[in-house]
């Protein structure tokens, strides 16, 4: 038996076992997934969190977004799922088999071979593991088309994550490359690493601290907004309670980037949308009209649902909405994200880029785009069925 045949049989067996486990699991496993897989039910509000001493609902815990990232529930929906907001049992079984293999991976080396811990257990208990994407609107789970103006900015946006990008100076890098920020709303979505989120509360304020490069201090109530000319990397946010849900409205989101406030002079604001299934080239323009409405709801003692609606009429032809489950983990540790200190990567990128282009020009090596590997390694949902192998050509007919 060939290695390929053995691997195929093992994969089929793993899916079969996962499907059998799914069929025999308690009914709670499939809760919240409707019969119509295109439907997106509202976030449940039947759980009542404890209250703070001053009467607000208490969200002050440490959370992680690792589960959605590790399960490769992509920001944008794989086209194979169409308008389904939920995966089928067979697709979920493939995800679960991948999670079990990741949890069991020990001592394996390589960029895409890092294992996980407890991912399969989360997938069994959380209905969110059956979601087909973080984006729930538009119905196809894809970002709306850009406006013509934004499309031009998008095409000239620069970042170390953009395929085919050459580097000549620091202006060829985005704000995350330069250890400034992932930006907003990018920081609210799962990343390929450092997915910790910590919430603090005090009378009249909520603070959302991220493991990577950002902290939001948000007044609750009628605090006056900043002048429109004052922009911030995480925007200017104001919150209020609607029942058990904290609603946060944010404006004055930084347009342009740290090189130039005027994005037309610098191209797009090249901040990563999200490192898991983000925009096609991982850049997005931002205009002064950008605005978000977020809704934070605790759906249980150990889970919080974050929903964000983004609108920017100068950039996107329609608003879009994403929903992500945060998993409570009060034992999750934050360490200093010492990104800028001793950072030699920007210089190394520039030196390597210039050297590679010179080698290609001399004919010493073929032109290649090494950034393509990121799509293969990270932006793949294991629930999507592998394409069927091409049929072998018919055998040549022997002459008579």
pLDDT value for 30: 36
Residue tagged 């009060």 (tokens): 330
Contact 347, 335 (CB under 8 A): no
How many CB atoms are closer than 10 A to CB 194?
17
Secondary-structure percent of the chain, ordered helix, strand, coil, rounded to 5: 25, 20, 55
Locate the domains of the chain by residue range. Answer: 31-86+131-340
CA–CA separation, 322 and 304 (whole Å): 14
pLDDT of residue 279: 52
Look at residue 380 in the predicted model and tell me its pLDDT.
Answer: 85
pLDDT of 171 reads 81
Torsion angle of C-alpha atoms 108, 109, 111, 112, degrees rounded to 10: -10
Name every residue whose Cβ is closer than 8 Å to that of residue 16 and which is 6 or more positions away in sequence.
Answer: 93
Q: DSSP of 341-397, one letter per residue?
A: TT--HHHHHHHHHHHHHHHHHTTSS----TTHHHHHHHS--TTSPPPPPPPPPPPPP
Give the per-residue pLDDT at 27.
34
Phi, psi angles (nearest 5°) of residue 293: -125, 120
- pLDDT block averages, 10 residues each, the chain of length 400: 37 41 37 89 96 98 95 92 97 96 74 77 96 96 92 80 82 83 89 93 97 94 92 95 98 79 59 58 80 98 97 95 97 88 87 94 85 67 82 51
């Amino acid at each position: 038996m060939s290695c390929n045949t053995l691997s195929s049989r093992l994969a089929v067996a793993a899916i079969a076992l996962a499907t059998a486990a799914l069929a025999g699991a308690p009914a709670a496993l499939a809760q919240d997934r409707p019969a119509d897989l295109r439907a997106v039910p509202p976030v449940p509000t039947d759980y009542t969190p404890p209250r703070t001493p001053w009467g607000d609902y208490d969200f002050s815990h440490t959370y992680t977004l690792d589960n959605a990232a590790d399960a490769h529930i992509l920001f944008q929906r794989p086209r194979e799922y169409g308008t389904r907001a939920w995966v089928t049992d067979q697709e979920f079984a493939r995800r679960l088999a991948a999670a079990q293999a990741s949890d069991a991976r020990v001592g394996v080396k390589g960029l895409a071979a890092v294992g996980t811990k407890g991912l399969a257990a989360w997938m069994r208990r959380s209905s969110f593991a059956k979601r087909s994407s973080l984006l729930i609107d538009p119905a196809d789970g894809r970002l709306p088309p850009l406006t013509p103006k934004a499309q031009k900015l998008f095409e000239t946006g620069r970042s170390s994550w953009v395929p085919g990008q050459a580097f000549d100076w620091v202006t060829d890098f985005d704000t995350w490359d330069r250890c400034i920020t992932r930006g907003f709303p990018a920081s609210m979505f799962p990343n390929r690493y450092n997915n910790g989120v910590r919430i603090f509360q005090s009378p009249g304020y909520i603070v959302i601290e991220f493991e990577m490069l950002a902290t939001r201090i948000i007044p609750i109530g009628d605090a006056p907004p900043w002048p429109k000319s004052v922009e911030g990397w995480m925007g200017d946010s104001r919150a209020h309670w609607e029942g058990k849900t904290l609603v946060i409205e944010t404006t004055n989101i930084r347009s342009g980037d740290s090189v130039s406030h005027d994005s037309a002079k610098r191209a797009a604001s090249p901040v990563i949308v999200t490192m898991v299934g983000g925009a096609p080239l991982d850049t997005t323009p931002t205009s002064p009209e950008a605005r978000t409405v977020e809704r934070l709801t605790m759906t249980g003692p150990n889970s919080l649902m974050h929903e964000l609606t983004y609108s920017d009429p100068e950039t996107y032809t329609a608003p879009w909405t994403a929903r992500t489950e945060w998993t409570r983990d009060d034992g999750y540790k934050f360490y200093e994200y010492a990104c800028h200190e001793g950072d030699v990567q920007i210089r190394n990128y520039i030196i390597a880029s210039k050297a590679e282009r010179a080698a290609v020009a001399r004919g010493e090596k073929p032109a290649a785009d090494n950034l393509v590997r990121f799509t293969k390694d990270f932006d793949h949902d294991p629930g999507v069925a592998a394409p069927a192998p091409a049929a072998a050509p018919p055998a040549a007919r022997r002459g008579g």
